[in-house]
Amino acid sequence: MDFKYILNACSADYPARLSEACAFINAHLKILSDIGKGTAGEAIIFYCHSADREPDFTGLPLQRIKLVKLNNYQPELALSALFSIEKDKPAELYIFSGNQTGTELAVRFSCRIGGSSLVDIDKFELHDSHLECYKSVYSGYLKGRLILDQKPYCLTPARGIYTAGDKSDDIIYRITKLDFEDLTNINFIKKSEYISKQENNQLEQAGFIVAAGRGVKGRAEIGRLENIATELGAQLGVSRPVAMNAWAPLDRLLGSSGTISRPEICLALAVSGSAAFYAGIEKSKYIIAVNTDDHAPIIKAADIVIIDDYKKILDELVLIIKRDKELKGNAGKALPEV
């Protein structure tokens, strides 16, 4: 019996997903090696033929690595390749990355292989007859404990939990290579072009985030906030209503369906603090919220709170910071104490 970790090196977030894999495997090592009965699991890594070199997997705490070359990354191609590799002797457990690719592959592969699936799980425990998993449900308000009882189990880790995995550096890898370049039969796609490429996710890496919610009331204000954020050395993130109104681009979306950030400081302006949004900022070290409504859920879920119009507070804050910077240049003087 065995487990497999499936990674997709064609995706822009592969380095982050590789760290996630290391963290996830290390966190579950005891369970995973029980399954493996002493033999460590295997990683199956897809990569594209256009890549100039084979994917880097250093640190992955698995000895067996299968590198699978695809013509290009298309979920249907990866699925067909994975199914043909695994169909004769399926493993007991498959873990896929916590991104879009992983979700789609986990669910569709489990259908093809006759198993069961669950995505975005926080952790799991293996029992003889079933797998017990924990995951956020009810839009992130509740934690659910769920059972899967049909092998193979196909899972994806919840995003933002398994981040900085300790990389293993003493592993001697056994690498097998498979070529599925000839697999090109996706005749439902006639033409395909990227409108914009995902670069580094700046929100994911930011140390300081200004998060703006529906209360900012318009695109022009978002533009102003973006400038202020830049001035403060912060990145601007937004809630779903802001993104849905197209006041800000989608890559600015924070939350369970957007970016899960982990800044030192998050300044949350005019957001109510719904659980789905909060998932995107809950890993912040400090959360400062400004909201006119003292009953908004964000009030209790923040470290520091100001009940006021965010516009007034922010304008004052910008002035104070500016003044402070000037004063710093002017040694000896400090800001007046209130």
Partner 1 sequence: MYILTCFKVVPDLDKLSGSSWTIDDQLNIETAFVSKMINPYDESALEIALQLSDQITTSGTTAELSAITIGNSQADLYLKSLRALGYKKACRINCSIDLRFNPEYIAALIGAYIKQNNPCDLILMGRQSGEGDNAKTPFITAEIIGWPCIADVLKVDYISPKLISVTNLTDNGILRQTVKLPCLLAVGNAPNSHLRVPTLKTIKTVGNEPARVIEDKNLIKFVKPGQKINGAKLLGLELIDHTRQGIIIEGNSAEEKALLLYNNYLKGWLADNGL
Ligand X SMILES: Cc1cc2nc3c(=O)[nH]c(=O)nc-3n(C[C@H](O)[C@H](O)[C@H](O)COP(=O)(O)OP(=O)(O)OC[C@H]3O[C@@H](n4cnc5c(N)ncnc54)[C@H](O)[C@@H]3O)c2cc1C
Interacting residues with ligand X (CB under 6 A)? 139, 213-215, 239-241, 253-258, 270-272, 274, 276-277, 280, 290-293, 296, 309-311
Interface mask (CB under 8 A) for partner 1, residues 62-81, using x and -? Answer: -----------x-xx-----
What minimum distance in Å lies between the beta carbon of 279 and ligand X?
7
**What number of chain residues touch partner 1 (CB under 8 A)?**
104
316 binds, among partner 1, ligand X, none (CB under 5 to 8 A by kind): partner 1
Nearer residue to partner 1 within complex by CB, 3 or 46 = 46
Contacts with partner 1 in 213-272 (CB under 8 A)? 233, 240, 243-246, 250, 253, 256-258, 264-265, 272
Q: Is 172 in the site for partner 1 (CB under 8 A)?
A: no
Nearest C-alpha neighbor of 267 from the set 220, 224, 235? 235
Query: Residues 63, 140, 178, 283: which binds partner 1 (CB under 8 A)?
Result: 140
Nearest C-alpha neighbor of 119 from the set 84, 149, 142, 94? 94
Q: What is the largest CA-CA distance in the chain?
A: 76
What is the C-alpha to C-alpha distance for residues 283 and 235, in angstroms, rounded to an integer? 16
59 binds, among ligand X, partner 1, none (CB under 5 to 8 A by kind): none
Q: Specify the pairing of strand 93-96 against strand 208-212.
A: unpaired
CA 100: distance to chain centroid? 9
Query: Residues 51, 175, 220, 335: which binds partner 1 (CB under 8 A)?
Result: 335
Q: Is 287 in the site for partner 1 (CB under 8 A)?
A: yes
239 binds, among ligand X, partner 1, none (CB under 5 to 8 A by kind): ligand X
Nearer residue to partner 1 within complex by CB, 111 or 164 = 111
Q: Is 112 in the site for partner 1 (CB under 8 A)?
A: yes
Nearest C-alpha neighbor of 273 from the set 251, 298, 252? 298
Is the dihedral angle over the CA atoms 257, 151, 14, 168 positive or is it negative?
Answer: positive
Encode burial over 160-179: b for 16+ CB neighbours within 10 A, e otherwise.
bbbeebeeeeebeeeeeeee
Q: How many CB atoms lie within 10 A of CB 136?
A: 18
